[in-house]
């Protein structure tokens, strides 16, 4: 590979014509290693063109091109001319897929980081994160939120993202209304529903709160 990070798009070689593409594909499939390099080098402009769509201030263009080249190499290695598509068409899809995989990986990583970022302090002065809160299945879960510095945001999310029934159950379960926290059984009795139904609604409500916190950190 003659590609060097930082090269301008203009410095990339011209794309292959259909006739040239067929010639080098045939040579590559007959074991010519030089043909593989030519197929990659002559499609670098395609990589740069597709990578442009994913450029942002927080992401280096060189990184995008490097990821795109991985997709191009995979395309060259797996291309089957018998399927009727040109290499450039098949490579475009492979390059796009590789870049999308990178973006999904970044999103997942950012989500994991946001869940572990501090959101406040408990009453003992210990730093707590959203992960600490959401992994705790017991009565202390929303009490920790109550003791956190961003309790106002917690209450806003309870009002904003939960349905009326979910809000009522969360308020009773975790004592957000200033009353003593109640067991699922007690909440069920008060609302004339089963304990298992309370549990299902509570779980769904906590997932909504988790998603609201998660999205606030990714914005």
Q: Which residues pair with 45 in a beta bridge?
A: none
In a domain, 157, yes or no: yes
Q: Are 213 and 130 in contact (CB under 8 A)?
A: yes
Picking from 54, 84, 114, the residue at the C-terminal end of a domain is 114
DSSP state of 2: -
Sign of CA dihedral 172, 177, 179, 180: positive
Rg (CA), the chain: 27
Measured CA to CA, the distance from residue 172 to residue 181 in angstroms comes to: 6
Measured CA to CA, the distance from residue 193 to residue 12 in angstroms comes to: 68
The structure's pTM equals 0.47
Residues 16, 109, single domain; the answer is yes
In a domain, 134, yes or no: yes
Residues 110, 123, single domain; the answer is no
Picking from 73, 91, 114, the residue at the C-terminal end of a domain is 114
Q: How many domains does the chain have?
A: 2
Q: Residue 6: pLDDT band by 50, 70, 90 thresholds?
A: very low
Q: What is the pLDDT of residue 12?
A: 79
Residues 93, 151, single domain; the answer is no
Measured CA to CA, the distance from residue 97 to residue 117 in angstroms comes to: 30
| Residue 205 lies in domain | 118-218
For range 1-27, the mean pLDDT: 73
Q: What is the pLDDT of residue 2?
A: 45
For range 67-72, the mean pLDDT: 92
pLDDT of residue 105 exceeding 90, the answer is no
Q: What is the pLDDT of residue 217?
A: 47
In a domain, 77, yes or no: yes
In a domain, 4, yes or no: no
For range 167-175, the mean pLDDT: 84
């Amino acid at each position: 590979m003659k590609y060097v990070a930082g090269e301008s798009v203009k410095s990339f070689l011209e794309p292959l014509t259909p006739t040239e593409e067929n010639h080098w594909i045939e040579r590559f499939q007959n074991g010519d290693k030089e043909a593989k390099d030519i197929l990659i080098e002559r499609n670098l402009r395609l990589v740069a063109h597709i990578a442009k769509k994913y450029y942002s201030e927080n992401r280096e263009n060189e990184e995008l091109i490097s990821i795109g080249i991985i997709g191009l190499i995979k395309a060259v290695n797996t291309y089957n001319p018998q399927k009727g598509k040109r290499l450039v068409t098949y490579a475009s899809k492979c390059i796009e897929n590789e870049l999308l995989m990178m973006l999904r990986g970044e999103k997942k990583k950012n989500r994991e980081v946001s869940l572990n970022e501090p959101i406040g302090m408990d009453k003992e002065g210990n730093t707590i994160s959203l992960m600490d809160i959401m992994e705790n299945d017991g009565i202390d879960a929303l009490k920790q939120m109550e003791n956190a510095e961003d309790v106002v945001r917690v209450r806003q999310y309870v009002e904003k993202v939960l349905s009326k029934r979910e809000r009522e159950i969360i308020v009773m379960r975790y004592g957000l209304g200033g009353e003593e926290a109640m067991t699922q059984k007690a909440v069920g009795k008060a609302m004339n529903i089963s304990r298992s139904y309370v549990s299902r609604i509570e779980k769904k409500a906590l997932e909504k709160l988790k998603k609201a916190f998660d999205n606030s950190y990714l914005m």
